[in-house]
Structure 1
Amino acid sequence: MKLTVVGGGSTYTPELVDGFARLRDVFPLTELVLTDPATDRLDLIAPLSRRIFARRGHPGTITATTDLDAAVDGADAVLLQLRVGGQAARQQDETWPLECGCVGQETTGAGGLAKALRTVPVVLDIADRVRRASPDAWIIDFTNPVGIVTRALLRAGHRAVGLCNVAIGLQRKFAARLGTDPAGLHLDHVGLNHLTWETAVRLGGPGGEDVLPRLLADHGDEVAADLRLPRALLDRLGVVPSYYLRYYYAHDEVVRDLRTKPSRAAEVADMERRLLALYADPALDEKPALLARRGGAYYSEAAVDLAAALLRGAGSPHQVVNTLNNGTLPFLPDDAVIEVQAAVGPKGAAPLPVAPVDPLLAGLMANVTAYEDLALEAALHGSRTRVFRALLAHPLIAQYAYAEQLTDALIAHNREHLAWA
């Protein structure tokens, strides 16, 4: 089987390669192609990737190319992990929203909208080229903002599933605290990408014993500390929100915090420089420990599991993915992209039934879904008015004066990436 990674020059790639090498029985990959316009990065990451395969005894071949069309030709699956504008654009996304007291973050709020506007047209062009070269290929989207990007792909008729590592990360942490095997722990995971909650933690799969009350009673302080939210809030909610909910539940506190320390983008840029220096060492034949701090924990396991399910009908029977709602959450449109447990196979992802959702959660989901509708319209069709409407709809902004100021700043900082500006 041939899998192509678009954005193969990412410092994430050795994590992904390590997963394919370790889990070759789950997904017997024969050819891995890394494609990226950054030849300097490919020249470091491709040789390291080959050394990782060799160390693990993986027989597959790894090639690297800047020619996207050649890279996707004949691919069974194409994984997207690109960042339009690089870390420099991320640095802007995380700083200029703070000027008017709004969260600066790369996947939500004004920064998240900026990333969507830069990314959606590029991803749709890539997907069109994939469809011409390999019409039956699955597109696995790990590119943020995953919900909006996946919705753009599905609206355009592409064979696509969105992937995020939040759920698998929480599953592994919960299993460690409960002293159980992660494979036997099923999360009732519901929401939108980067706006999710664990409403139950079940032993043995769907319908199993819900041990979330025990997790909160015995380990609530540690869970709350991981999320940087008060333990009392988790007790009152009775669910575990993802750490992205801190931007909503503690917005002003987060803004004060972000204004007093270096941006995450600056930290990641420094980490990437150090990682690339490590990758240049011809003796390195495994992913370095530093990579764990880069983010994307368990990304490789989730990606291998999803690829195996889509292409072989193998892997875990149920996986958390981003896919069409299609009535799963009745308070959202059918064409909304939700992040839930799904049965995944060669025909795609079919969401599992979801228990009635607390209005406290459903209301925020509905609000952010409306924002994502408007964000996608702005990404597809442009215009200052569409950008303003999306910003005004976002619950982290929602004031016209802020939306006006942020619209001007977004366009000014992203003009080179916006064909209509």
Structure 2
Amino acid sequence: MKLTVVGGGSTYTPELIDGFARLRDTLPIEELVLVDPAAERLELVGGLARRIFARQGHSGRIVTTSDLDAGVEGADAVLLQLRVGGQAARQQDETWPLECGCIGQETTGAGGLAKALRTVPVVLDIAERVRRTSPNAWIIDFTNPVGIVTRALLQAGHKAVGLCNVAIGFQRKFANLLGVTPSEIHLDHLGLNHLTWETAVRLGGPEGENVLPKLLGEHGDTIAADLKLPPALLDRLGGVIPSYYLRYYYAHDEVVRELRTKPSRAAEVAAMEKQLLEMYGDPALDEKPELLARRGGAYYSEAAVDLAAALLGTTGNPYQVVNTYNGGTLPFLPDDAVIEVQAAVGAAGPRPMPVPDVDPLFAGLVANVTAYEELALEAALRGGRDRVFRALLAHPLIGQYEYADALTDRLIAHNREHLAWA
């Protein structure tokens, strides 16, 4: 089995490598290729990756290359984890929207749109090159904004699935609170990427007992504190657990005030990355450093292994929370919308599990953001100031024409080098 990681020079790659090494019986990789144009950085990451494999007794071969076509040729699966423009672009995404009183964030709002515009053309070019050399390969997308990027891939006819770590993070957290193993937790997970709610937490599988009321009754204050939301709000939402990204919607102005008074997450990550790369250069280091846990993306490697194993027909849990076509699962959305739900995953791809009727409180927001994502993808594919404006005007975190106009100008000014049409 050959797997290729595009963006393999990321400082987060050792987390992925650690998962591949630990879970080699689930996903028996023979060749792992790390592809990245940043050659110096790639060699630091690749060196540590080889030492991690050696320490854990993994016999697979790790190859590093800046040649994308060679790296993806013959791959069974290609994992995408790239950041067009690097942390410098992320820093901009998180700061200039605040000038208009809007959320500065890399996956939602105006910053999320900027990232989509930079990313979609690059990802589609990579996917076409994968199709030429490895037409049967699965493309697993971790690249944000996952919902928009996955929709672009699927609409272009690629074998693609989007993956986020929010659900697996909840699974691990709930298992810990309940004193059970993560494999015993099955989530009824509903919504879009970074816009989801846990509507049930089941023990033992899709038909298991729903212990969400017990979780909220015994641990509601702890869960709410983790989400930075008041416990009473969880009750008023009808006893569901929103993802932490919902705080951008439910407490928008509060979050804007916070973001204006502290360093950006991009600045924190950039400083962390500098430290990590220095650590990776140490030839004695043969495990992922503790600092990496603060980099973000908890349990990312385990989610990646489970999904790749299910798609490639090895072993693993057939039930996964993924981003895939709606196909009637949420009847209030178009069939070609990309949703994030629990699905049965096999060699033929993901098949979303049935979803009960959705509370209008959630359905309305999901429909609104779906419309924004459709307009965002149109802007990413076709370009143009008016298309950017329309997407921003449609976003529920913006929605006023003066803000949309001002944000459009700022987005284009800060991203001109990445926009072929600008």
Scaled by the length of structure 2, the TM-score of the pair is 0.99
Where 2:333 maps in the other structure, the secondary structure is: coil
Distance 2:315 2:24 in 1: 12
Distance 1:241 1:92 in 2: 27
Q: Is 1:317–1:344's contact at 8 Å kept on the other side of the alignment?
A: yes
Percent of matched pairs sharing the same residue: 81
Which residue is 2:50 aligned to?
50
How do 1:64-143 and structure 2 match up within 5 A?
64-143=64-143
Distance 1:250 1:66 in 2: 43
Distance 1:246 1:97 in 2: 17
Q: Is 2:26–2:314's contact at 8 Å kept on the other side of the alignment?
A: no
Q: Is 2:78–2:139's contact at 8 Å kept on the other side of the alignment?
A: yes
CA deviation digits over 1:228-283, x for unaligned, max 9?
01101011111000000000000000000000000000000001111111111100
Which residue is 2:184 aligned to?
184
Distance 2:89 2:16 in 1: 24
Which residue is 1:395 aligned to?
396
Q: Is 1:313–1:346's contact at 8 Å kept on the other side of the alignment?
A: no
The one-letter code sitting in structure 1 at the alignment partner of 2:281 is A
Which residue is 2:215 aligned to?
215
> What is the deviation of 1:313?
4.7
1:320 aligns with 2:345: no
Distance 1:326 1:417 in 2: 33
Where 1:312 maps in the other structure, the secondary structure is: coil
**Which aligned segments of 4 or more residues in structure 1 are displaced greater than 4 angstroms?**
none
Q: Is 2:51–2:285's contact at 8 Å kept on the other side of the alignment?
A: yes
> What is the deviation of 1:43?
1.3
Scaled by the length of structure 1, the TM-score of the pair is 1.00
Which residue is 2:360 aligned to?
359
Q: Is 1:193–1:322's contact at 8 Å kept on the other side of the alignment?
A: yes
CA deviation digits over 1:199-253, x for unaligned, max 9?
0000011121111011011001110011001101011111000000000000000
Q: Is 1:84–1:119's contact at 8 Å kept on the other side of the alignment?
A: yes
1:343 aligns with 2:329: no
Distance 2:383 2:370 in 1: 19
CA RMSD of aligned residues (A): 0.5
Which residue is 2:225 aligned to?
225
Distance 2:412 2:45 in 1: 34
Which residue is 2:146 aligned to?
146
Which residue is 1:301 aligned to?
302
Which residue is 2:23 aligned to?
23
> What is the deviation of 1:334?
0.2
Distance 1:81 1:347 in 2: 23
Where 2:79 maps in the other structure, the secondary structure is: strand
Where 1:307 maps in the other structure, the secondary structure is: helix
Which residue is 2:39 aligned to?
39
Distance 1:207 1:312 in 2: 24
> What is the deviation of 1:362?
0.4
Which residue is 2:270 aligned to?
269
Q: Is there any run of 5+ residues in structure 1 with no aligned partner, and where?
A: none
The one-letter code sitting in structure 2 at the alignment partner of 1:101 is G
Distance 1:317 1:33 in 2: 26
Q: Is 1:313–1:345's contact at 8 Å kept on the other side of the alignment?
A: no
Distance 2:49 2:315 in 1: 24
Where 2:29 maps in the other structure, the secondary structure is: coil
Q: Is 2:27–2:314's contact at 8 Å kept on the other side of the alignment?
A: no
Q: How many residues align?
A: 421
Which shifted more, 395-404 or 205-214? 205-214
Distance 1:119 1:296 in 2: 19
The one-letter code sitting in structure 2 at the alignment partner of 1:411 is I
Distance 2:213 2:313 in 1: 36
Q: Is 1:48–1:284's contact at 8 Å kept on the other side of the alignment?
A: yes
Distance 2:49 2:205 in 1: 35
> What is the deviation of 1:317?
1.5
Distance 1:415 1:42 in 2: 27
The one-letter code sitting in structure 2 at the alignment partner of 1:215 is L
Distance 2:136 2:4 in 1: 14
Distance 1:175 1:222 in 2: 14
Distance 1:414 1:229 in 2: 33
CA deviation digits over 1:318-374, x for unaligned, max 9?
000000000000000000000000010110000000111111000000000000000
CA deviation digits over 1:50-81, x for unaligned, max 9?
00000000000001000000000000000000
Where 2:312 maps in the other structure, the secondary structure is: helix
CA deviation digits over 1:103-161, x for unaligned, max 9?
00000000000000000000000000000010000000000000000000000000000
Distance 2:276 2:358 in 1: 42
Where 1:213 maps in the other structure, the secondary structure is: helix
Which residue is 1:3 aligned to?
3
Which residue is 2:412 aligned to?
411
Where 2:322 maps in the other structure, the secondary structure is: strand
> What is the deviation of 1:314?
2.1
Distance 1:77 1:251 in 2: 38
Distance 2:4 2:412 in 1: 33
